[in-house]
């Protein structure tokens, strides 16, 4: 077994022993991974870099890209056909099945938002099912079927208006001293989406600054639960955020825990202040005195309590 300290050394050692490294790379899985997280641009770039000999000799690579092509061309019905017409390897089957399920849910949500009525035949094509399966699927979601006309009446979701929100991030050292406080304004359609976006924003900032050994404490219990979960995300529109958070929180020097809002007073007050005045905050330990007095007072109280 080859051991290495860097990707360059590994590639060099493989080549030195006369093994074609590119022949061993799991391009089909790589392509399907990009497709699963809805990163079609990366899938297209990867396809362009795959050697011609690989494309000619590995039909599963071509089959994986065909799924990506259908997505790129917005040929929604063709996606299901591309999945069904190939006999996927055992290594790819689970990933393909997970994507197929996720994609079906996305198509259902698109139909739900775009149509008031739709034929059973068209519904089946969009969902990648036969007509009986498609009818049973949507009836379970509250749609109404008219056997005489073979039409479905779509059950609309309640209209949700976007709301302006402002999350806040507070960073303290082991002694409870405030090192960083920031907030930002954004809009979203649901509380769950808001909590996901907030944690994604904060963790991405921490990752960019290469902060290590962090104990994350958030007041969003469902978000903490789903980040720790191994289950596939059920909502296409939040799936990417969930998968991104999971990939980020596999770090052994980061931990993610839930705490009640009352225990997170400074962050809560900073968020409310920013939202009420339509401003964002950004301070560190060097300019903490620039914070509004009400927030600064609570910072002092919490720091004293931590001693």
Q: Is 282 found in the same domain as 173?
A: yes
Residue 272 resides in a domain: yes
Tokens of 119: 């034929």
pTM exceeds 0.85 for this model: no
Give the pLDDT confidence of 196-223 residue by residue, as tens digits: 888 888 899 889 989 889 988 887 888 8
Report helix angle 76-84 to 59-72, nearest 10.
170
94-104 average pLDDT score: 90
Mention every residue, 6+ apart, whose C-beta is less than 8 A from residue 275. 164, 165, 166, 185
pLDDT at residue 19, rounded to an integer: 39
Number of domains forming the structure of the chain: 2
Provide the mean pLDDT of the chain. 82
175 and 88 housed in the same domain:
no
Q: Assess if residue 112 is contained within a domain.
A: no
Residues 200 and 298 in one domain: yes
Per-residue pLDDT tens for 107-152? 888 888 778 899 999 899 888 889 999 999 999 889 999 999 999 9
Using the predicted structure, report yes or no on whether residue 6 has a pLDDT greater than 70. Answer: no
User: Which of 47, 75, 92 is where one domain is finished?
Assistant: 92
Q: What is the per-residue pLDDT for 11?
A: 36
Residue 226 lies in a domain: yes
pLDDT of residue 307: 60
Same domain, 301 and 167: yes
Q: For the domain that residue 176 is a member of, what is the CATH number? A: 3.30.420
Q: What phi, psi does 21 have (nearest 5°)?
A: -60, -40
Does residue 97 lie within any of the structural domains?
A: no
pLDDT in tens, 149-177: 999 998 876 544 556 666 788 888 877 78
Rounded percentage of the chain residues whose pLDDT exceeds 70? 85
Instruction: Clarify whether residues 46 and 174 are in a common domain.
Output: no
Q: Are the beta carbons of 165 and 188 closer than 8 angstroms? A: yes
Task: Say if 111 falls within a structural domain.
Answer: no
pLDDT of residue 5: 38
Domain boundary among 92, 111, 126: 92
- Domain enclosing residue 65, as ranges: 7-92
């Amino acid at each position: 077994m080859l051991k290495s300290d860097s990707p360059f050394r590994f590639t060099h050692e493989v080549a030195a022993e006369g093994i074609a490294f590119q022949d061993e790379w799991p391009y089909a899985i790589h392509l399907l991974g990009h497709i699963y997280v809805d990163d079609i641009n990366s899938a297209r770039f990867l396809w362009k870099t795959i050697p011609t000999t690989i494309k000619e000799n590995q039909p599963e690579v071509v089959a994986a890209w065909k799924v990506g092509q259908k997505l790129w061309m917005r040929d929604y019905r063709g996606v299901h056909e591309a999945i069904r017409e190939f006999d996927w390897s055992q290594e790819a089957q689970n990933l393909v099945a997970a994507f197929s399920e996720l994609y079906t849910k996305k198509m259902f949500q698109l139909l739900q938002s775009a149509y008031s009525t739709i034929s059973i035949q068209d519904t089946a094509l969009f969902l990648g099912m036969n007509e009986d399966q498609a009818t049973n699927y949507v009836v379970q979601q509250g749609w109404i079927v008219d056997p005489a006309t073979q039409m479905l009446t779509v059950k609309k979701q309640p209209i949700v208006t976007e709301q302006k929100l402002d999350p806040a991030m507070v960073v303290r050292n082991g002694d409870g001293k405030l090192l960083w406080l920031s907030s930002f304004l954004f809009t979203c359609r649901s509380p769950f989406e808001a909590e996901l976006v907030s944690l994604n924003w904060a963790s991405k900032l921490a990752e960019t600054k290469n902060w290590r050994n962090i104990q994350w404490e958030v007041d969003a219990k469902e978000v903490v639960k789903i980040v720790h979960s191994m289950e596939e995300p059920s909502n296409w529109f939040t799936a990417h955020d969930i998968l991104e958070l999971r990939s980020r929180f596999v770090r052994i020097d980061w931990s993610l825990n839930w705490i009640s809002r009352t225990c997170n007073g400074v962050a809560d007050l900073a968020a409310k202040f920013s939202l009420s005045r339509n401003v964002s905050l950004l301070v560190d330990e060097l300019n903490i005195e620039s914070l509004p007095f009400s927030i600064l007072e609570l910072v002092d109280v919490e720091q004293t309590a931590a001693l």
